[in-house]
Amino acid sequence: MNNTFDIKRFGMLFKKHTIEHSKTYALSTAVLFGVIFLVLLFFSMMNKWTLNDQMQIIVLIFSMSGFGSIFGSMVFADLGDRSKVIPALMLPASHFEKFLVGLIYSYFIFLIVYVVSFCLADYIVVNIGEHDLDEHKMINVFETTGRKPAIAFMMFTLFHAFVFWGSIFFKKLHFVKTTIVFFLCLGAAALINGLVLNMFFLPQTRFSAGMPFTGIGIFQPDQQYAMWYIQPADKFDTYGLTIFVIVVLLFWTTAYFKLKEKEA
């Protein structure tokens, strides 16, 4: 029998996890659907029963990232509980199999459940408004043009990788600690990006820039709004996507070796 991965042993572990957490996951799914439905309904009511694309995308981005982060941080919560950590570590399964079960549930299965819940809630709320407007229609969550729905999946993936790592790395208050570290890293990235861009502009030039590989707004003196907006070249989108994939894989890999270290 392979000590790293055995399909029969993995199947038994997956089944055990499903049976033990089925009620919790079912209740969580109901809460997820209810919150998404109520938020979409609120936006629709505030806009004369019209739910435009922008409102739906905002709910999609924040609810997917928020709920996904919370769920991802709970998968290995037993490692921070003294009464549960020993039974969790002593399960007759390999480190990789335990890691894979957690990853499948917190990322892939969550995504499926979330997309179904969001689309169902969105469909109900959109059809409550009895009028025909071009802006009053369901968004396609898999649309790639405009990249806005895609941003939701990218943000969720990044947040998941971070909290998944934090749930194993930190023993207590892992979600809070991981959130603090995440925003510190975002702040550091934005600061470094600004310092690097300062090297390419004259000291008197006013500009606004956020994260690396995003656009830059350039202001004229005494002007409140940006007069020029520079978009990164297409190749920089590729660079940014490559770095994004590397960072996500790095956090997932680090989480695996940290789990392996805990069981050593």
The domain of 135 spans 7-169
Span 119-133, pLDDT tens digits: 999 999 888 865 555
Asked whether residue 187 is assigned to any structural domain, the reply reads no
Neighbouring-strand partners of residue 230: 216
- How far apart CA 75 and CA 21 sit, in angstroms, is 10
- How far apart CA 182 and CA 256 sit, in angstroms, is 19
Asked whether residue 113 is assigned to any structural domain, the reply reads yes
Helix or strand or coil: residue 216? Answer: strand
> Quick check: 98 pLDDT over 80?
yes
Asked whether residue 200 is assigned to any structural domain, the reply reads no
Domains held by the chain: number = 1
Asked whether residue 138 is assigned to any structural domain, the reply reads yes
Asked whether residue 194 is assigned to any structural domain, the reply reads no
Asked whether residue 87 is assigned to any structural domain, the reply reads yes
Helix or strand or coil: residue 93? Answer: coil
Helix or strand or coil: residue 209? Answer: strand
Task: Please choose, from the candidates 172, 212, 176, 184, the residue with its C-alpha nearest in 3D space to the C-alpha of residue 69.
Answer: 176
DSSP code, position 134:
T
Neighbouring-strand partners of residue 207: 218
- Percentage above 70 pLDDT, the chain: 72
Asked whether residue 16 is assigned to any structural domain, the reply reads yes
Neighbouring-strand partners of residue 217: 208, 229
Model pLDDT, residue 240: 75
> Quick check: 207 pLDDT over 90?
no
